[in-house]
Amino acid sequence: MNFKKGIIVTWVSIVLNIGLFAIKYWAGIVSHSVALVADAWHTLSDSVSSLAVLLGLKFSNMPADQRHPYGHGRAELIASLIVGILLAVVGFNFLADSIIKFKEQAAFNFKPLAIWVTVISIVVKEAMARYSIYVGKNIHSNSLKADGWHHRSDAISSLVILIGIFIGSKIWWMDSVLGIFVSFMIFYTTYGIMKDTISVLLGENIEKEMKDEIESIGLNIRNNLFLDPHDFKIHHYGNHSELVFHIRLPGDYSLAKAHAIASEYEALIEDKYSLEVTIHIEPVE
């Protein structure tokens, strides 16, 4: 089953985040680094984001039931929203930290231990980002891809902290300015996640290529008979989509004949796309 791959990725993310939390917290205490302890708590909170993805994937794969006849596919979109909101919070925190650092002209004073932990964190987070985005694309999971972008944002913000450690002593404003830049990058990523998710939730129009393809399928059903497909409505429920549209048939056709044409048309479209198709028939005089 495809979604199992997604479940495995989210579990790996959760376990690695808890592991990183433990290392950062320990190193932060040992090296008396407030910044590293704060980063440790952030890393622990990242598990919540992956947990939302995990629950979204599990729910969205539950079969349709009496109360939810269209399945539970949209649960995954809700998970994407949660991931997006958590990422926005990360962006705000990073922006606030960077502005405070700029005002106080403070440079982080990291010990070698803290530097090593930060390097490990960058490598692990970027690996998690690649893994999540790769599998997310593979199983068409927006929430998993979004979580991958969160991992990448974490890697980049740690990289900025690292840059600050090495050149902060020479150019004091460098890491705060980079930090502000990175927080806007995080906001932009959040915007992308939210825009895609909300657009699908609100309901999108049928794509033009699909409409054209459906029109050309219609031309082959009865030679020379123009079915005039129109009024397309498509509803996406995660892994399940419903398509409804109208066709026109001669008014003197028997009900059986008209129904046979509509059924054949529905079947041909369902063969090509994973859709549930319903056709409404109108008579032309």
Report the interface residues with Zn ion, using CB under 5 A: 46, 154, 231, 246
Q: How far is the CB of 2 from Zn ion (least distance, A)?
A: 26
C-alpha–C-alpha distance, residues 164 and 12, integer Å: 30
Closer to Zn ion by CB, 10 or 239: give it. Answer: 10
Q: How far is the CB of 123 from Zn ion (least distance, A)?
A: 15
Q: How far is the CB of 277 from Zn ion (least distance, A)?
A: 11
Closer to Zn ion by CB, 46 or 175: give it. Answer: 46
Closer to Zn ion by CB, 97 or 154: give it. Answer: 154
Residue with smallest beta-carbon separation from Zn ion: 246
Q: How far is the CB of 279 from Zn ion (least distance, A)?
A: 9
Closer to Zn ion by CB, 11 or 173: give it. Answer: 11
Q: How far is the CB of 18 from Zn ion (least distance, A)?
A: 13
Contacts of 255 (CB under 8 A, 6+ apart): none
Closer to Zn ion by CB, 231 or 270: give it. Answer: 231
C-alpha–C-alpha distance, residues 212 and 229, integer Å: 10
